[in-house]
Chain A
Amino acid sequence: MYAPVRTLSWSVGLAVVLVGVMIASAALGPVRIDPTVVAMAILNAIVVPTGVVFDGSVTIPGLEWGLPVPGLEYASVFKFAVPDTHQTIVGDIRLPRIALAAVVGFALAAAGTVMQGFFRNPLADPSIIGVSSGAAAGAVAAIAFPTLVPFASLHLSAFVGALGAAFLVYAIATEGGRTPVATLLLAGVAIQAFLGAMISYMLVHSGDDLRQAVLWMMGRLNYSTWSDVGFALPVSLLGVTVLCAYTRELNVLLLGEEDAHHLGVNVERTKILLLALASVVTAAGVAVAGVIGFVGLVVPHIMRLIVGPDHRILLPTSALAGASFLVATDTIARAGPAEVPVGIVTAALGAPFFLFLLTRKEVHSV
């Protein structure tokens, strides 16, 4: 029986685990730092806005004067005594990467949960309607042919590519105001194949940029900055929050669309909303971190085995578990024997763990 208390306790528990994993991760690396120092350094890194300043301006064609752009002034909340080197290592080098891993894991696992429920298909993952392929195409184009891409940043190019692919799949699969799930699935497969061909073509002609492009596609969290977090965090938090308000609909949709309609769900509108939000959340994660596979597929399954199929508890717990999972795997990718793209680690560790769970407990189809 669903109880809000159960959801809350699981969520709080997993949030605590996440914080623990983040602290442990920040302590590990070429320079080992004491966890208490790490905790203090992390608290030192927390800033709150204290005021608004107008320190920049943009010029708009046709206007004679520049428009002032509001910016925020920040101040640290905590001022613990932490050695400067350690504060720099934790606050400026490790923490952005750890925070980004948490955000991306959070986003991918949440989107994967929604997609699996939406498609009533255990093989569904966040990229099932072409989001990752679109992002990869956008990113590879930006890397290999920077002159042809109108977007300045790699992230933006990947983000736009991701949403473009998702929208294309949706538009192709929709006819007369209805979007049959099976058509959506197949259109997604077709678009992914097509984009795959485009990506391969671009890779073949990418010359010296090949290595960078391939590494992006493997998914990596190196070079993470606070601005990446600043982009991905609000998008995923907002998206997942709204998705959490639709978990009851997601449950009812599991009965099939016609049953859902008979139970008062506005099926087509709910489908658009779920698809759009899941795609945006996925796109935000993929754009900043590249294609990180397996998180969105396996974490929801693992959580389903543990907490059950009810999306009201499954969605928040999957998102939080996904965050911990990606932070942990990225720590291994970063601080392990040799630095590797995190996508390799997620798959290499996630698959055996998932197989272990499979043999322990029978998996129900979604």
Chain B
Amino acid sequence: MIGTDAPRATDETTDDESTTIDIEDVSLSFGDHDVLEDVSIGVESGEFVGLVGPNGAGKTTLLRAISGALEPDTGRIAINGTDVHEVGSRTSSRLVAVVPQDTSLSFSFPVRDVVAMGRHPHRSRFSTPDQHDREAVDDALERTRTTDLAERPIDEVSGGQRQRVVLARAIAQETPALLLDEPTASLDINHQIETLELVRELLADGQAVVAAIHDLTLAARYCDRLALLADGGVHSVGSPAAVLSTDALSTAFDATATVTTNPVTGTETVTALPNESLETDVLSSVESDSSQSAGQSTRQVSGRPSNPRVHVLGSGTTAAGALARLETATVDPAADDEDDDRECGDDDRGDGNGEDAVSESAALEVSVGPVARGSVAADLADQFATDSVIVNPFTALSSEHRERIDDWLRAADVVVLADADGGSRDGPGAFLERLETADSFVPEHTVVVTDRSSVADRAVGDGGSGWRYDQCREQGYEATVETVFEAVGASLEDRVGSDRLE
């Protein structure tokens, strides 16, 4: 709580050399509303821990508890062995500096004066700034590249510069721990990167940094570890790769998202997708329909009616996009028949881990292949546990793989031909040509996904795509990655309609 002035433990540090923020079993509530429950996280010196989680998960509250601004109901938060809630604000402000989400800086103090305010905890009431104070301010200005702005009034610098000034203030404070609340929230991409690069530089000095970061991709890229907060507790703590999984994101954020490895940074990139769901009647009709006609399906979930089957044939980002869209689309719970629904719910609770949340509610049985190992599509197939044939690049398809794809194509209610350059010699069209079972393949039951930009460019029939691909484009549905799920739904509906007529 602000202003509690407990007896001072002046500069008492433990023998431990490495800075540590120790958060032990911290619970905190606002009135009846529990914001944090039994949160425990430790941060080592030189480590950058990102707090991620949905709005209202308690990220800011946890930061405020660490800074000493909010006193937890139970638990303990120590920095360098000193409980920040046991000491006065003067002592705690020598241990931890805060870069708040927004600072009210609507007055015209020169930038240098604002940074110099970071020295406040170190100065006695009547002293003038000494050599070290001045050096600390100059150093902070230099590190944040704000030296040129030093004499400018703070209310006349841009948002990005202002953020750096506030960071400079925190640097000038020379604390072992640094907390940042959404340091990149209002910055453009260039300043986001600049700010976080700067924070990483600080780690070399042994500061322990904790930041609440909304942008999961940025968090994954810059943080050593992430703590995923959800529903007041710590969902998971660990490396970005370990914490950011599709399942975790679905549980914590209630969001449909895919996690892929960014080819440039080599870190996790999170892409949220709209929650698409299939219309009720289509699903149930197809279910009964497909169980008759696609009897040879090799892969029925025991005890449950199979969902419409879709095979994605293609490669590259287009196939990956189509796959992600199809895998993340869900069935409206009301779509299931009532008994089944209840059964599902019980299953869920019985499992207790909620990890199959995504696959459980998937509307479609999707298969994909062949895709190249290491490609985005292969990554995603892995992530969604999609039935897939993943081949090593530059190798021929084995007969075993070819048979599996044949089976899937035969069983599929809809085949999605997904390739930005579908008409090329190596595209899905050419693949279809070589396929033995291609005769049983119905062009009407296909969705051809084309790159948005290339739909108009490419005329039907040019290139070496072959007549089957052209037939698909003429008789099937055409879609973009964004609309692929809609098109599949429409195709299924068509199929139901025509089957009923027959």
Contact = CB atoms under 8 A, between A and B. Distances in A.
Interface in B276-300: none
Interface in A254-279: 254-259, 261-269
Given A256-B104, A257-B2, A264 B125 contact: no
A259 B98 CA distance: 8
A355 interface: no
A366 B116 CA distance: 19
Nearest to A120: B104
Of the four ranges (under 10, 10 to 19, 20 to 34, 35 or more), the interface on chain B belongs to: 35 or more
Interface stretch (B89-97, B328-336, B342-350): B89-97
A51 interface: no
A252 B90 CA distance: 13
Contacts of B103: 255-256, 259
Interface string B72-93: 0000000000000000111011
B387 interface: no
A267 B116 CA distance: 19
B107 A366 contact: yes
Contacts of B109: 251, 254, 308-310
Interface in A316-366: 364-366
A31 interface: no
Contacts of B131: none
Given A178-B1, A255-B104, A265-B120, A1 B110 contact: yes
A269 B117 contact: no
Contacts of B4: 177
Interface in B150-180: 150-151, 155, 173
A267 B120 contact: no
B100 interface: yes
A210 to B, nearest CB: 44
Interface string A231-253: 00000000000000100100110
A150 interface: no
A2 interface: yes
Given A254-B107, A269-B3, A264 B121 contact: yes
A62 interface: no
Contacts of A1: 110, 112-113, 150-151
A2 B116 CA distance: 10
A30 interface: no
Interface size class of A (residues with CB under 8 A): 20 to 34
A56 interface: no
A4 interface: yes
Nearest to A366: B107
Nearest to A271: B3
Nearest to B106: A365
A254 B105 CA distance: 8
SS of B interface (majority): loop
B50 interface: no
A266 B3 CA distance: 5
Interface string B135-158: 000000000000000110001000
Interface string B223-264: 000000000000000000000000000000000000000000
Contacts of B120: 248, 252, 263-265
A264 B104 contact: no
Nearest to B90: A264
Contact of A177 (B3, B89, B92): B3
B134 to A, nearest CB: 10
A269 B1 CA distance: 13
B3 A178 contact: yes
Nearest to A263: B120
B3 A251 contact: no
Nearest to A255: B103
A366 B109 CA distance: 10
Contacts of A2: 113, 116
Contacts of A255: 103-105, 117
A315 to B, nearest CB: 15
Nearest to B156: A364
Interface string A164-186: 00000000000001100000000
B107 A262 contact: no
Nearest to B126: A245
Contacts of A248: 120, 123, 125
Contacts of B3: 177-178, 261, 266-269
A120 B103 CA distance: 13
Contacts of B183: none
Interface in B315-369: none
B2 A267 contact: yes
Nearest to A270: B3
A177 B92 CA distance: 19
Interface of A: 1-2, 4, 120, 177-178, 245, 248, 251-252, 254-259, 261-269, 308-310, 364-366
Given A252-B117, A266-B89, A364-B107, 8 more contacts: A4-B128, A178-B2, A258-B2, A261-B67, A262-B93, A263-B93, A309-B107, A365-B107
Q: Which 10 A-B pairs have the closest CB atoms?
A: A268-B3, A264-B121, A264-B93, A262-B98, A264-B90, A267-B2, A309-B107, A263-B120, A261-B2, A267-B3
Interface of B: 1-5, 64, 67-69, 88-90, 92-94, 96-98, 100, 103-110, 112-113, 116-118, 120-121, 123, 125-126, 128, 150-151, 155, 173
